[in-house]
Structure 1
Amino acid sequence: MLIRETPIFIDGPQGQLEALYLDTAEARGVALICHPNPVQGGTMLNKVISTLQRTARDAGFVTLRFNYRGVGQSAGSHDMGNGEIDDAQAAAAWLCRQHPDLPLTLLGFSFGGFVAASLGGRLEAAGQSVRHLFMIAPAVMRLGPEHSLPVGGTLTVVQPETDEVVDPALVYAWSEQLQRPHELLKVAECGHFFHGKLTDLKDRVLPRLSN
């Protein structure tokens, strides 16, 4: 049976946010998925985001992916920072209101890795736990002192070894100095957008979501 996501709109800080929502019977958790750089064409329909959504679905999660302000049919204009984190927070709040008893997992790709990580820290500071955080080829250079990662839950970083957008050395150095426990998974002969390697990405994320 083909399971399709439902197009919805969520109230965001600058107006409506366009989103795709998939409910799942007897779900093990809810997963919010954050897309890459909107200024460089990133949307919730990006193929890496679509792969992460299908992976979370296959692991038994309710899923929500959304467009940041100024992307697709989402209202507002790009902020390239805290504004997109605010959008993600609004999306997470909506998702958690639908399923208040289910744990939250955050997944983000590229710029979305920065957004998901920052959101996780913000939610934890407000008293909400994050069970899993997945940062895929994350834009760690955007993480400043004001952006704290969550301390609780599990953290998995997946980094392509031949990434042409995010310098792998930056991610490796960031991982080395990171104080909290985490897992760094490297994908050999793989560029930023996982061309020909989407199955490798799913193979790394799925078993960790299923634990």
Structure 2
Amino acid sequence: MPEVIFPGPEGRLEGRYHPQKMRDAPIAIILHPHPQFGGTMNNRVVYNLHYAFLNLGFTVLRFNFRGVGRSQGEYDQGIGELSDAASALDYLQSMNNNAKHCWVAGFSFGAWIGMQLLMRRPEITGFISVSPPANMYDFSFLAPCPSSGLIVNGTADRVAPPKDTLNLVNKLHDQKGITITHEQIEGADHFFQDPHMEPMIGMVQDYVRRRLTESTR
């Protein structure tokens, strides 16, 4: 797994970059959970999402937000982290300017950042939002949500309760021209502890595979 260092708004950012041999391979960035609660790019959900996209033929980048691991800077309430994500996408695009599709996937805090990035970057064609913390953060900026995507949560999530996720999904469903797919893993907690990780990743792969197939018709 190639380690990379690339420029961010507050200094260098540390990542793991996995390119494909095909020059026009789709690209994806993966965003990790809250830096102040132990979130890093090596989180199990983030790691598994990275390889899920890689195995589907994507060139993939995951990275540490500012102040995490070898990434410079300090935690910035999500504002700076959104800028970090934009820099990561710039870096990924600069090396893959023939990519036909661009996806963003995030877990927990990373899902919130990813959906904000979606609003800023019209080239993003799909998103994966795992355990979005709709009870902690305001998602009203998704008006309208510019891209179709998948939201996944566990029915036993005590960090981001399912009812709040459902409220978020229902608000997004009201918008025309996009399709929000919502899947729940029965009995899974916020972190998709075994045996729930594998079915969650399987759902993500099935969804992305279906979207890619539809786009080539």
CA contact (8 A) 1:89 1:119 kept: yes
Q: Does 1:40 align with 2:44?
A: no
Shift of 1:25: 1.4
1:79-128 alpha-carbon deviations (Å, 9 max, x no partner): 1211100000000010011111212100000000001000011112xxxx
Q: Work out which of the residue numbers 158, 164, 176 in structure 1 matches 2:158.
A: 164
Distance 1:83 1:148 in 2: 19
1:205 maps to: 204
What stretches of structure 1 move > 3 A for 4+ residues in a row?
147-153
Shift of 1:16: 0.3
2:90 maps to: 93
Q: Work out which of the residue numbers 61, 74, 93 in structure 1 matches 2:58.
A: 61
Change in Cα spacing, 1:190 to 1:175, as seen in structure 2 (3 Å) is same
2:213 maps to: none
Q: Does 1:7 align with 2:17?
A: no
1:2-151 equivalences in 2 (<5 Å): 5-26=1-22, 28-102=25-99, 103-124=101-122, 129-140=123-134, 141-145=136-140, 147-148=141-142, 151=145
CA contact (8 A) 1:117 1:149 kept: no
CA contact (8 A) 1:17 1:66 kept: yes
CA contact (8 A) 1:32 1:107 kept: yes
Give, as a single letter, the amino acid of the residue that structure 2 aligns with 1:209: V
Percent identity of paired positions between Structure 1 and Structure 2:
28
Distance 2:50 2:131 in 1: 16
CA contact (8 A) 1:118 1:149 kept: no
CA contact (8 A) 1:120 1:149 kept: no
| Structure 2: 5+ residue stretches without partners | 211-217
CA contact (8 A) 1:130 1:150 kept: no
Give, as a single letter, the amino acid of the residue that structure 2 aligns with 1:174: L
Please give the secondary structure, in 2, of the residue aligned with 1:43.
coil
1:109-157 alpha-carbon deviations (Å, 9 max, x no partner): 0000001000011112xxxx21111100012241354x33674432110
RMSD of the alignment, in Å?
A: 1.4
Distance 1:100 1:15 in 2: 24
Please give the secondary structure, in 1, of the residue aligned with 2:129.
strand
Give, as a single letter, the amino acid of the residue that structure 1 aligns with 2:12: Q
Instruction: Tell me how many residue pairs correspond in the alignment.
Output: 202
2:215 maps to: none
Give, as a single letter, the amino acid of the residue that structure 2 aligns with 1:9: I
